[in-house]
Amino acid sequence: MPHLILVRHGQSEWNLEKRFTGWVDVDLTGQGKLEACKSGEYIKELKLNIDYFYSSFQLRAVNTLKFIQDTLRSNTKPIRAWQLNERHYGALTGLNKNEMSEKLGEDKIHEFRRSWEIKPDPLSRNNPYHPINIDAYKTIPKNKIPDTESLKDTYERVIEYYNSDIHNKLLDNKNILISAHGNSIRALCKFLFKLDNKKISLLEIPTGNPLLINLNSKQEIIECKYLDKDRAKNLLIF
């Protein structure tokens, strides 16, 4: 029975500042590092052998995985995939969520954040926050780097990668851990839990709380739970 563990990175510097982060490459806060270490402790209690470790290209996910692997004392080389990056928030990138709610209205910001197909205006490619101007993404083909994304766009790149690189490993009964982001994990959950476009907007993904998913031979979920029960969110599946 393969196990899939999804971990949203620990609190980032821009989580703390309530800014739209997207593809900007910010690091973890002190609390975020503690959340990552605690994630490692919860995973260690499972006594599972993790065969593959994945993260996005982004520092907050990369470092979350590093803390987890250090806690597990695992030397397995992680696989980094830009397809697991956070959703690109376009022209909202870097702006304060509370200030934009006051300016545009809470309903409009909620629509930008959680609707399935609506995307913010594109971010100028001259903006220093645009991914083409960030060193971490220099190896990604420029035609693959977005100017803005909807959740649907994020879903399509995440699930294409999952089906091409991760799915077969689970079929081969391998245990996999993915360190990623709120929206890339939300995309995976939509696919795995078979959530509709409306329900996915209700799914909350807490930082630094491992989500354990146990699958049968048909890739059907037989168990799904957050390891830190005190910080668990409704999974909308059971």
- Residues forming the annotated binding site? 8-15, 21-22, 60, 86-89, 97, 113-114, 182-183
Q: Which residue has the tokens 């146990």?
A: 214
CA distances from 130 to 108, 138, 174 (A): 23, 12, 36
Q: CA triplet 84, 85, 90: central angle to 5 degrees?
A: 140
Tokens of 64: 């979350």
Residues tagged in the binding site annotation for substrate: 8-15, 21-22, 60, 86-89, 97, 113-114, 182-183
H/E element, 44 = helix 30-45
Q: Which of these is catalytic: 17, 35, 41, 86?
A: 86
Q: Which two tokens stand for residue 113?
A: 């954040």
**Among 4, 49, 56, 6, residue whose Cα is nearest residue 169:** 4
Assess whether 167 carries a catalytic annotation: no
Q: 68 with 179: CB under 8 angstroms? A: yes
Cα distances (angstroms) measured from residue 218 to each of 13, 49, 102, 147, 193: 40, 21, 47, 37, 14
Residues recognised as catalytic: 9, 86
